[in-house]
Amino acid sequence: MNHTPQRTRRRTTKRKQQRRKPLRGRFVLLGAAVLLVLLLLRCGADEPQPGSAAADETAAEATAETQPVPATQAADPPSKDDPLLLLVSRAQPLAGDYAPELTQLHDWPYSIAAIAYEPLRQMLAAGRAEGLSFTVASAYRSTDSQRQLFDEDVEARVSEGMTEDEAREETARWTMPPGCSEHETGLAVDIVATDNQRLDDTQEQTPETIWLHENCWRFGFILRYPAGKEDVTGIDYESWHYRYVGIEAARYLTEQQLTLDEFWAS
Ligand SMILES: [Zn+2]
């Protein structure tokens, strides 16, 4: 009776000894796998891979891991031949035949340039993984719809007592004339907090907008009309308007604190 426990113990020890080798092998394999995953995460940190939910997690983790370090890892200036850096402004309207390839968004009644669809999806998913809730307030607009928007704003101001000229001037501070809006490229998107969908000064204080301002470059977007650059952009600060330029260009412009206008003027 009393040697039963011993026998059991001995058996256990024997079993452990027999298992030791394969177990150690498994740990080595597991260690190698973890190392590989860590290496992959590092390599992919600046480039969220398209596709799965796993890619979204990678993007979210990358957010915490990589901070811009201009002194040691400064991005190279992008090429002005890159079509993603297209400058559209009052002074530089779009070509009349410009027709971007578009993709319809899933959750909102807007389209965006096909090339910016996946980066946008990944950016919003990464923010959502941190508990944020976004609403896309605008994306692609045809030149006709931009014209309609502009005319409606002018009419509203005229009905409030402004002259036609005053109304056009005031409207142009906020709304680009047809042909001159980035929204016509499909590369611009207005994003707000679901809790506060107002396009005004309160938007920049929402956790969603704070997060986007810090992280949008990682997904290839820039804040196109930042505060303090109104003289350069010719547009009042819009904390909700993001423009897709690609990751490398977004990183460069963000590090250098350059607007797209300044990049083109340099
Ligand atoms: Zn906008």
pLDDT in tens, 34-48: 444 444 444 333 333
- Distance of CA 197 from the midpoint of ligand 1 (Å): 13
- Flag whether pLDDT at 10 surpasses 70: no
Residues designated as active site:
238
The CATH architecture one would assign to domain 64-141+181-265 is 2-Layer Sandwich (3.30)
Higher model confidence: residue 173 or residue 59?
Answer: 173
- Flag whether pLDDT at 51 surpasses 50: no
Band of residue 73 on the pLDDT scale cut at 50, 70, 90:
confident
- Distance of CA 240 from the midpoint of ligand 1 (Å): 7
- Distance of CA 238 from the midpoint of ligand 1 (Å): 8
Mean pLDDT, range 184-201, rounded to an integer: 97
Mean pLDDT, range 10-25, rounded to an integer: 41
Q: Is 188 exposed, middle or buried (0-12, 13-18, 19+ CB in 10 A)?
A: buried
- Distance of CA 31 from the midpoint of ligand 1 (Å): 47
Higher model confidence: residue 132 or residue 40?
Answer: 132
Element (H, E) at 113: strand 111-113
Band of residue 72 on the pLDDT scale cut at 50, 70, 90:
low
Band of residue 205 on the pLDDT scale cut at 50, 70, 90:
very high
DSSP 90: S
